[in-house]
Amino acid sequence: MSYSSSNPSLVLIGPGNVGSGVLEQLALNGNISGYNHITVVDDGGVVSRLKRAEELLGLLQAKREAKERGLHLDSVIGGVPFKYEDFGNYFSDGDIIVNVLPTKFVASGGGQHASVRYDEAALSHGAHVVAAHKSAFGGNGYYRDLMNIAFSNGVFYVPAGALMGPTRAAEFLQHLRSYGSLSVVKVEGVLNGTTNYILSNMFEGMSFEDALGEAKTNKIAEPDPTDDIRGYDALSKAMVIPIMFQNLKGSEVYGINDSRSRLSTQDSHLIKGRENLGIEGITTKLLEKLKRKGQTIKLIGSYDASSGLVVVGPQVLNLDHPLSGLKGTTNMLVLKLEGTVQLDNILRNLYGNHNVFTERYGKTDRYTISIHYSALDLSGKIQKEGFKTIYTYDRKNNQITISGPGAGDSNTAAGLLGAVDKIRSTPDWLKSSLAKRNAQPSLADYH
Ligand SMILES: NC(=O)c1ccc[n+]([C@@H]2O[C@H](COP(=O)([O-])OP(=O)(O)OC[C@H]3O[C@@H](n4cnc5c(N)ncnc54)[C@H](OP(=O)(O)O)[C@@H]3O)[C@@H](O)[C@H]2O)c1
Cα 207 to the chain's mean position, in Å?
29
pLDDT of residue 200: 96
Could you tell which of 11, 17, 73, 90 is best to mutate to test the pocket of ligand 1, judged by most ligand atoms within 8 Å of the CB? Answer: 17
Write out pLDDT tens, residues 277-326.
999 999 999 999 999 999 999 999 999 999 999 999 999 999 999 999 99
Q: Give the number of the atom of ligand 1 that is nearest the alpha carbon of residue 44.
A: 40
- C-alpha to C-alpha distance for 193 and 408, rounded to whole angstroms: 10
Write out pLDDT tens, residues 121-151.
999 999 999 999 999 998 768 999 999 999 8
Say how many residues make up the chain: 447
pLDDT of residue 1: 43
Name 187's bridge partners. 303, 335
pTM summary value: 0.93
- C-alpha to C-alpha distance for 304 and 171, rounded to whole angstroms: 20
- Distance (angstroms) between ligand 1 centre and the Cα of 19 equals 7
pLDDT of residue 111: 55
pLDDT of residue 380: 87
Q: Return the beta strands (E) in 52-105 as ranges.
A: 80-81, 96-99
Q: Which parts of the chain have pLDDT scores under 70?
A: 1-5, 105-112, 140, 180, 429-447
- Distance (angstroms) between ligand 1 centre and the Cα of 38 equals 18
- C-alpha to C-alpha distance for 81 and 46, rounded to whole angstroms: 6
- C-alpha to C-alpha distance for 274 and 251, rounded to whole angstroms: 21
Q: CB within 8 A of 194, min separation 6: which ones?
A: 215, 220, 221, 222, 225, 228, 229, 233, 329
By CB neighbour count within 10 A (0-12 exposed, 13-18 middle, 19+ buried), where does 281 fall? buried
pLDDT of residue 107: 43
Q: Give the number of the atom of ligand 1 that is nearest the alpha carbon of residue 407.
A: 3
- C-alpha to C-alpha distance for 414 and 403, rounded to whole angstroms: 16
- Distance (angstroms) between ligand 1 centre and the Cα of 316 equals 35
- Distance (angstroms) between ligand 1 centre and the Cα of 102 equals 4
Q: Give the number of the atom of ligand 1 that is nearest the alpha carbon of residue 17.
A: 16
Domains and CATH numbers, the chain: 10-167+414-438 (3.40.50.720), 183-407 (3.30.360.10)
pLDDT of residue 141: 85
pLDDT of residue 229: 96
Nearest to 25 by CA among 416, 425, 426, 390: 416
Q: Pocket around ligand 1: residues whose beta carbon is below 6 Å from it?
A: 13-19, 41-44, 67, 72, 100-103, 114, 132-134, 161, 165, 407-409, 412
Q: Give the number of the atom of ligand 1 that is nearest the alpha carbon of residue 133.
A: 45
pLDDT of residue 61: 95
